[in-house]
């Protein structure tokens, strides 16, 4: 087990810069998830840590040693691939023990380690089967077992759950978390699924366009996103963004969304935004759960307004409502008993205590 | 479909109607259509393969003038002749050595081509396939010039190094070497292209997993590439073994079996004995010897493939 750090790491393919100088410190035992849309450089970053891709510029250290030119086999890492990459001609036990056999471990120890990993992953019965006789979830477990038996310094996961169906994915997610709680190996996990990122990570690294947008715990990213990209990427349904501007109306700072709709800002928010220039193009960012049906009692910072619902989506425990403000589609989450109907008007409440204000041009959260 | 739905008692009286309707049903069946569509090919195989095969079996049991049935007499005669055993030995050496080197060279070249960036790869693939595409009779004629003892390019080049002149087709050992060399030259591209296809079907991630597991270059070939290619290697080897065993043109053109029958293989000797020696029954007997040898090889190799099935 070890800490991993990346210093100004760059990856360039001919003309294209896939990774544009990222810095990242991963401490021992930590579970880090790299998340971002496809093509953001997250897999390339992982493969550079693995040694499967050369580093164009910068340094990667594992356990304090610079490993830029160390081949994968000498980095003491284990990797789980998206399509599992099990050797089809070997049994489960042979697949899991392959790395140990190449390193000439004693037979008894190989057997002990394989048995232990199989028990941990609940695949003891499958040990003599070939990969083609296994289901997707079982193959995934074997791939993890192959990583575990090596007892490496770092685990690397490259979108390991993408090939599984939704139900199995949830199950395996919990499984991975359990395994990490037991073995506590430093882990770098790549996914494009923000739910996986949020549920698994100690810290999430959100990447976009070859750069790191934000690093933080799942809660930090959700509640205090640094940029519009992070705010929109994390959370489902995604955060609403509405163009707005600040106005001073009768001594209180208000936020104007449309000609008809303007809300006074609650005290702490007003204090925070009061220095902003009034002419600047701004975006109001608000998550769907902060737009609800009108509450029976007035609360500070919660303002109500009328909207005509375009579409409603009953989800069971809640109903998603979609309406339009000045041509911008907005999503809210209301109680299923609140009587939301397609095409009907509804009195909604917006919780400005949880709003975000963004610079429209730069996308930075203010 | 209405006509087949008649209750049996109503059709019982009219046999003609019944016959016609069953013919119509038969024609409507998919398997019947399939049979009719494959019929031309089946006929072709019957006329060009099955009939000649049985006819040669029949021929092999006749005497030289093809007048009298001699049973296994031709075979008894063959077994007693040294030349026959020489041909058996040479056929085996020829086929096994040639196939081994074709496979080896094909494997190595396939690896090189596989590692060429995709852009230039097509060019190389095309060029390397040329020896296999040219009709062997033509290319062997070119080789014949290269092998000429007195004025050929080979001996001319070698003379600069003080070597030679080498009697490429004149000496028994050299002649065997030469026919095998030309056979390898013609056949290796086939192995190359088959192995290249097999290499391309091995997922890159398997190599990456092996690299992370600690496998070096040689271990990656031994533990990943070869097991993944096993079926292709087996089928290609079998196919090539059959074709090489039955080879005729290269030996015929290059050495015509000489010197002193030392490069004859089954097909060329069968031709020599049967056509040139006007003993068609004996020639047929010689050519029939390829069958049991190849059948045994086929059984062994194919059984292994069946056992393994498709592991991927």
DSSP code per residue over B157-173: HHHHTT-----TTTSHH
> DSSP secondary structure string, B167-230?
-TTTSHHHHHHHHHHHHHHHHHHHHHHHHHHHHHTS-HHHHHHHHHHT--HHHHIIIIIHHHHH
Query: Side-chain half-sphere of A138: how many Cα atoms within 13 Å?
Result: 15
Give residue-wise pLDDT tens across range B137-158.
888 888 888 887 777 787 778 7
Q: Indicate if the alpha-carbon torsion angle A168, A173, A177, A180 is positive or negative.
A: positive
Q: Specify the 3-state DSSP secondary structure of B92.
A: helix
Check: CB of residue A92 under 8 Å from CB of residue A134.
Answer: yes
Check: CB of residue A241 under 8 Å from CB of residue A228.
Answer: yes
Q: Cα dihedral angle (B42, B44, B49, B51), rounded to 10 degrees?
A: 90
Residues 148-167 of A with CB under 8 A from B: 150
Residues 49-68 of A with CB under 8 A from B: 50-52
Residue of B210, B213, B311 lying closest to A88 (CB–CB): B311
> How far away is chain A from the Cα of B19, in angstroms, using its nearest Cα?
51
Specify the pLDDT at position B307: 65
Chain A neighbors of B212, CB-CB under 8 A: 50-52, 72-73, 77-79, 99
Specify the pLDDT at position B18: 61
Specify the pLDDT at position B306: 66
Check: CB of residue A320 under 8 Å from CB of residue A331.
Answer: yes
Check: CB of residue A332 under 8 Å from CB of residue A288.
Answer: yes
Would you tell me how many other CB atoms lie within 10 Å of the CB of residue A296? Answer: 5
Residue of A78, A103, A130 lying closest to B212 (CB–CB): A78
- Alpha-carbon distance of A302 to A263, in angstroms, equals 9
- How buried is A6 (Cβ within 10 angstroms: 0-12 exposed, 13-18 middle, 19+ buried)? buried
- Alpha-carbon distance of A54 to A46, in angstroms, equals 11
Check: CB of residue B269 under 8 Å from CB of residue B257.
Answer: yes
Cα angle for residues A237, A239, A244 (degrees, 5° grid): 145
8 Å CB contact of A87 and B214: no
Bridge partners, A190 (sequence order): A34, A158
CA distances from B204 to A30, A34, A74, B114 (A): 29, 23, 20, 12
> How does pLDDT run along chain A (366 residues), one tens digit per residue?
688 988 888 888 888 888 888 898 999 999 999 998 888 888 899 999 998 888 888 889 998 888 888 888 888 899 998 888 899 889 999 999 998 998 899 999 999 999 988 988 888 898 899 998 888 888 988 998 998 898 888 999 998 888 888 888 888 889 889 888 988 889 999 998 888 899 999 999 999 988 899 999 999 999 999 999 999 998 888 999 999 888 888 778 888 888 888 888 888 888 888 888 887 888 999 999 999 988 888 888 888 888 999 999 999 899 999 999 888 999 999 998 888 889 899 999 999 999 999 988 888 888
8 Å CB contact of B311 and A130: yes
Specify the pLDDT at position B120: 80
Asked if ipTM goes beyond 0.85, one says no
Q: Looking at the predicted structure, is the pLDDT value of residue B6 above 60?
A: no
Check: CB of residue A157 under 8 Å from CB of residue A188.
Answer: yes
Residue of B208, B215, B219 lying closest to A85 (CB–CB): B208
Is A101 touching B (CB cutoff 8 A)?
no
Backbone angles phi, psi at A333, to 5 degrees: -120, 115
- Alpha-carbon distance of A38 to A35, in angstroms, equals 9
Specify the pLDDT at position B41: 95
8 Å CB contact of B227 and A87: yes
- Of the candidate ranges B68-72, B99-103, B185-189, B217-221, the one whose mean pLDDT is the lowest: B68-72
Bridge partners, A346 (sequence order): A307
User: How many residue pairs bridge chain A and chain B with CB atoms within 8 Å of each other?
Assistant: 66
pLDDT band at B309 (very low <50, low <70, confident <90, very high): low
Average pLDDT over residues B279-298: 82
Check: CB of residue A46 under 8 Å from CB of residue A158.
Answer: yes
- How buried is A41 (Cβ within 10 angstroms: 0-12 exposed, 13-18 middle, 19+ buried)? buried
8 Å CB contact of B211 and A52: yes
Residue of B nearest to A78 (CA): B212
Q: Compute the mean pLDDT over every residue in chain B, rounded to the nearest whole number.
A: 81
Q: Tell me what percent of the residues of chain B surpass a pLDDT of 70.
A: 90
Backbone angles phi, psi at A337, to 5 degrees: -90, 5
What is the DSSP pairing of strand A345-351 with strand A77-80? unpaired
- Alpha-carbon distance of A84 to A141, in angstroms, equals 9
Would you tell me how many other CB atoms lie within 10 Å of the CB of residue A184? Answer: 13
**Residue A337 has what DSSP assignment?**
G
Helical (H) or strand (E) element with A162:
none
pLDDT band at B129 (very low <50, low <70, confident <90, very high): confident
Chain B neighbors of A81, CB-CB under 8 A: 205, 208-209
Find the radius of gyration of the CA atoms of chain A.
25
8 Å CB contact of A89 and B209: no
Helices (H), chain B: 8-11, 15-28, 30-45, 51-59, 73-79, 82-115, 118-133, 136-147, 153-160, 172-200, 204-213, 217-220, 226-245, 249-254, 266-271, 280-288, 290-308
Specify the pLDDT at position B308: 61
Is A168 touching B (CB cutoff 8 A)?
no
Is A83 touching B (CB cutoff 8 A)?
yes
8 Å CB contact of B228 and A102: no
């Amino acid at each position: 087990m070890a800490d991993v750090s990346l210093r100004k790491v760059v990856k360039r393919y001919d003309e294209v810069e896939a990774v544009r100088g990222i810095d990242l410190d991963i401490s021992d035992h930590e579970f880090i998830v790299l998340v971002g849309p496809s093509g953001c450089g997250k897999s390339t970053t992982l493969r550079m840590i693995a040694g499967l891709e050369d580093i164009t510029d910068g340094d990667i250290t594992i356990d304090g040693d610079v490993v830029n030119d160390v081949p994968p086999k000498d980095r003491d890492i284990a990797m789980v691939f998206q399509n599992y990459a099990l050797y089809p001609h070997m049994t489960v036990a042979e697949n899991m023990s392959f790395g140990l056999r190449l390193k000439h471990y004693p037979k008894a120890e190989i057997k002990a380690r394989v048995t232990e990993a199989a028990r941990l992953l609940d695949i003891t019965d499958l040990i003599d089967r070939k990969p083609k006789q296994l289901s997707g979830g079982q193959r995934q477990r074997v791939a993890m077992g192959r990583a575990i038996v090596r007892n490496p310094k770092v685990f690397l996961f490259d979108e390991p759950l993408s090939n599984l169906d939704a139900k199995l994915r949830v199950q395996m997610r919990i499984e991975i978390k359990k395994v990490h709680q037991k073995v506590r190996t430093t882990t770098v996990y790549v996914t494009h699924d923000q739910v996986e990122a949020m549920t698994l990570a100690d810290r999430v690294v959100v990447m976009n366009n070859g750069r790191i947008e934000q690093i933080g715990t799942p809660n930090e990213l959700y509640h205090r996103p640094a940029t519009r990209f992070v705010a929109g990427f994390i959370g489902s349904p995604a955060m609403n963004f509405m163009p707005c501007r600040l106005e001073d109306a009768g001594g209180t700072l208000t936020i104007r969304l449309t000609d008809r709709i303007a809300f006074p800002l609650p005290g702490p928010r007003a204090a925070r935004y009061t220095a902003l220039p009034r002419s600047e193009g701004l975006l109001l960012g608000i998550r769907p759960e902060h737009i609800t049906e009108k509450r029976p009692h007035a609360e500070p910072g919660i303002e109500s307004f009328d909207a005509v619902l375009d579409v409603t989506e009953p989800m069971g425990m809640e109903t998603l409502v979609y309406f339009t403000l000045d041509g911008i589609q907005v999503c809210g989450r209301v109680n299923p008993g609140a009587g939301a109907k397609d095409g009907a008007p509804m009195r909604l409440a917006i919780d400005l205590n949880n709003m975000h204000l963004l610079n429209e041009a730069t996308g930075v959260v203010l | 479909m209405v006509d087949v739905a008649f209750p049996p008692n109503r059709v019982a009286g009219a046999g003609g109607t019944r016959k016609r309707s069953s013919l119509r049903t038969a024609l409507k069946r998919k398997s019947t259509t399939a049979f009719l569509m494959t019929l031309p090919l089946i006929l072709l195989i019957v006329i060009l393969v099955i009939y000649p095969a049985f006819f040669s079996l029949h021929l092999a049991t006749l005497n030289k003038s093809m007048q009298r049935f001699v049973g296994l007499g031709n075979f008894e005669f063959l077994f007693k002749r040294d030349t026959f055993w020489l041909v058996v030995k040479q056929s085996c050496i020829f086929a096994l050595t040639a196939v081994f080197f074709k496979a080896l060279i094909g494997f190595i070249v396939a690896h090189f081509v596989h590692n060429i960036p995709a852009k230039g790869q097509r060019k190389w693939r095309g060029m390397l396939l040329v020896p296999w595409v040219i009709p062997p009779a033509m290319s062997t004629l070119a080789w014949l010039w290269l092998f000429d003892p007195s004025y050929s390019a080979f001996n001319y080049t070698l003379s600069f190094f003080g070597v030679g002149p080498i009697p490429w087709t004149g000496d028994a050992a050299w002649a065997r070497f030469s026919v095998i060399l030309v056979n390898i030259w013609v056949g290796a591209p086939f192995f190359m292209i088959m192995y290249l296809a097999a290499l391309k079907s091995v997922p890159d991630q398997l190599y990456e997993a092996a690299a992370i597991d600690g496998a070096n270059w040689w271990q990656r070939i031994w533990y990943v590439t070869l097991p993944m290619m096993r079926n292709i290697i087996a089928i290609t080897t079998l196919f090539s073994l059959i074709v090489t065993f039955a080879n005729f043109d290269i030996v015929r053109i290059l050495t015509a079996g000489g010197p002193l029958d030392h490069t004859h293989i089954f097909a060329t000797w069968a031709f020599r004995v049967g056509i040139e020696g006007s003993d068609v029954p004996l020639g047929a007997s010689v050519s029939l010897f390829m069958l049991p040898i190849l059948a045994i090889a086929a059984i062994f190799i194919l059984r292994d493939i069946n056992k393994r099935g498709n592991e991927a």
